Amino acid sequence: MECDVCGQTMWRWPVAPTAWEEEMWSCSWCHATTQVGGEWFEISRPDYLPAEMRWERAVADGLPTGVSHAFGVFDRTLCGIQETGMSPSDHWWLPERANACGACRAEASAIDERRPRAMRGEGARVSVARGL
């Protein structure tokens, strides 16, 4: 699948099939996500969110203490750390905090720069809902 934001190739998440035949896709370049299928949408393309609202804080036993890492896609931090059992927390990763990983901060900034300005506004991406 081609990313509707930047034109790069998207990668399908390795998730088990659901009753609604739902698929999740992520762009490895600009990190836009697309959901195909599901209960309400045929295609769901979430709008752009700024860095402080886009990434959850990563949690795992093997992560260094005192440093806050951003949970990216495919069970890795934005800086590339992959630990067994890593997951997103219920809290935002805030890049402006002093304990935010510098490499995660740099990657979040680079990802933001890859998103074309025209694709950052509300409704810039088209979602298609099922007819009722």
pTM of the model: 0.82
pLDDT score for 14? 82
Q: How confident is the model at residue 4 (pLDDT cuts 50, 70, 90)?
A: very high
Q: Are 5 and 33 in contact (CB under 8 A)?
A: no
pLDDT score for 19? 64
pLDDT score for 18? 67
> Once rounded to an integer, what is the mean pLDDT over residues 84-101?
95
Please provide the distance, in angstroms rounded to a whole number, between the alpha carbons at the two ends of the chain: 27
34 φ/ψ angles, rounded to the nearest 5 degrees: -140, 130
Percentage of the residues of the chain whose pLDDT score is greater than 70: 96
CA distance 56 to 91: 6
> With 70 as the cut, is the pLDDT of residue 104 above it?
yes
For 37: left if phi > 0, alpha if psi spans -120 to 50, otherwise beta; the answer is left
CA distance 53 to 69: 14
